[in-house]
Chain A
Amino acid sequence: MNSRGDGFFPDEVILQILARLPVKSLFMCKTVCKLWYRLSADKYFVQLYNDLSVKNLMVLVEVSEASDSKSRLICVDNLSGVSEFSLDFLKDRVKIRASCNGLLCCSSIPDKGVYYVCNPMTREFRLLPRSRERPVTRFYPDGEATLVGLACCSSSQKFNVVLAGYHRSFGHRSDGTFICLVFDSELNRWRKFVSFQDDHFTHMKRNQVVFVNGSLHWLTGSSCILVLDLHYDIWRKMSLPGEVSYGSGNRIYLLESDGCLSVIQISDAWLNIWVLKDYEREEWHLADRVSLRCVRGLVPGIFPISQTGEYVFLATHKQVLVYQRKKRVWKVMYSVNNSSALPLWFSAHAFRSTIFSCY
């Protein structure tokens, strides 16, 4: 049956098999024989693995118990359910600030201004050099960046971290200057540029940053999308779909959907999913209209966290749910029993398991 020396199958077949393994099993396979070791390190393979992972949606949630100050992380996976998740390998107490293509950007809780980029699946991490800005006097109001974004480009395996916020010189009031610090993983350096903005962001809007088409996107408080083009370091605005409007019970969230920008609009009875099909022409398309009748009781407190063309993950104060679009079925994936200090949606991030390297 086996006439080849090391492998059983042609190389392409081995790659297709390895690309379907969870990360831990993949690493087991690296030690099986030289061929498998070599194939799994191949650049083409890394991209194949990461491309396949898009189909498997996950959500990372920070669960904090009311009783103690410690919080733990869980990962909710559509295929394999709920598992404990740890960032202990960073050897620091951190808060997840952004997630993109399998990498996380975390800020140190004890050390303000200290940021890590890590891949929690492979346990690789990179401590970012401090930007030369002195954060306490530069960012306003808390000395912390208002917006934190992570942009991971799967083809080049490079990433950028963006810290942006209003500027205030020491002793003065804020003057509307918006500082943007961008970390370049290839140059291992921060660069800075300044602009003038007048936008406000709620907690949820700050958390929901989407990286598509080489740009980072955030939803502002005033019905538009703020875009940071990382090729040219330019901020610009993009409109929401014409039919989407704020106010009177309409809540709006920015997510990704299979590599496209997506807006989810929640009213009392309906959840509308809009997808930006044509990025250049800014043409939005109503992909789905979901009746919220089954979950009516949860509607005021339900927040969409991540989605693919087939599933949407949502979080409430105490639960993580998944909605299967084809079957039109809702399922509770995770529940907390005790009243937690913070709602689950407060620190929930879209996630997928990749072998993206942060070196």
Chain B
Amino acid sequence: MSSSSSPMQSTGRKLKLKSKDDETFEVEEAVAVKSQIFKYMVEDGVSNGPIPLPNVNGKTLARVLQWCQKHADPTITEDELNKYDAGFIDVDQAVLYDLLMAANYLNIEELLKLACMRVADMIKGKSPDEIRRTFNIKNDFTPEEEEEVRKENAWALGP
């Protein structure tokens, strides 16, 4: 996508990242650029000093970087990657939430898709009530509004 003159190969350069709880991470450029945010920073040469990430905690950042590392590995096969992803995303809801928010904030498209698919899988087959409970969502329809919407979608909601 980028047509910048400097190639994205491993120049051996590393990026320093600082999580919101002050944990620092050093990561190779080739791995970090899985995130569009870092990709643009590297392209624009704005990567001196540790990059502060006030929206991501250390634990989550560690996980995300591990994912990026795996996905930046040229020797890994597609099958191995799929297996890895399946295991990676099989986490509890709190961790999943953090991964989702981090992938969105850091603009890591593949990881975002993976996490969204997992959340979608958690929603499939649940009733609206169950969905609300799983995600702690308040039902803000008035009883009349809810009846309207239910009628509209009656065929999907079933008997």
- Residues of A whose CB lies within 8 Å of any CB of B are 1-2, 5-10, 12-13, 16-25, 27-34, 36-37, 89, 123, 326
Contacts and interface: CB of A to CB of B under 8 A. Distances in A.
B139 A32 contact: yes
Nearest to B94: A1
Interface of B: 78, 94, 97, 100-101, 104, 112-113, 116-117, 119-120, 123-128, 131-132, 135-141, 145-146, 149-150, 152-153, 155-157
A33 B140 contact: yes
A7 B120 contact: no
Contacts of B157: 27-28, 31
A46 B132 CA distance: 23
Contact of A8 (B112, B136, B156): B136
A5 B136 CA distance: 10
Contacts of A23: 156
B116 A17 contact: yes
A326 B124 CA distance: 28
A123 B154 CA distance: 11
A22 B100 CA distance: 21
Contact of A20 (B94, B116, B146, B155): B116
Contact of B124 (A22, A30, A36, A37): A22
A6 B140 contact: yes
B72 to A, nearest CB: 21
A21 B119 CA distance: 10
Contact of A10 (B104, B119, B123, B155): B104
B149 A28 contact: no
A9 B100 contact: yes
B138 A28 contact: no
Contacts of A6: 137-138, 140
Contact of A28 (B94, B101, B156): B156
A32 B136 CA distance: 11
A16 B146 contact: no
Given A12-B104, A32-B139, 19 more contacts: A6-B138, A6-B140, A8-B135, A8-B137, A13-B100, A20-B116, A21-B120, A25-B124, A25-B126, A27-B157, A28-B123, A30-B149, A30-B153, A31-B149, A31-B150, A33-B138, A34-B140, A34-B141, A34-B145
B117 A20 contact: yes
Contacts of A326: 78
Contacts of A30: 149, 152-153
A32 B125 CA distance: 14
11 contacts: A1-B94, A8-B136, A17-B116, A17-B119, A25-B124, A28-B127, A29-B128, A29-B131, A31-B157, A32-B132, A34-B145
B116 A13 contact: yes
Given A9-B100, A37-B149, A17 B120 contact: yes
Contact of B97 (A8, A31, A33): A8
A5 B138 contact: yes
A6 B135 CA distance: 10
A33 B101 contact: no
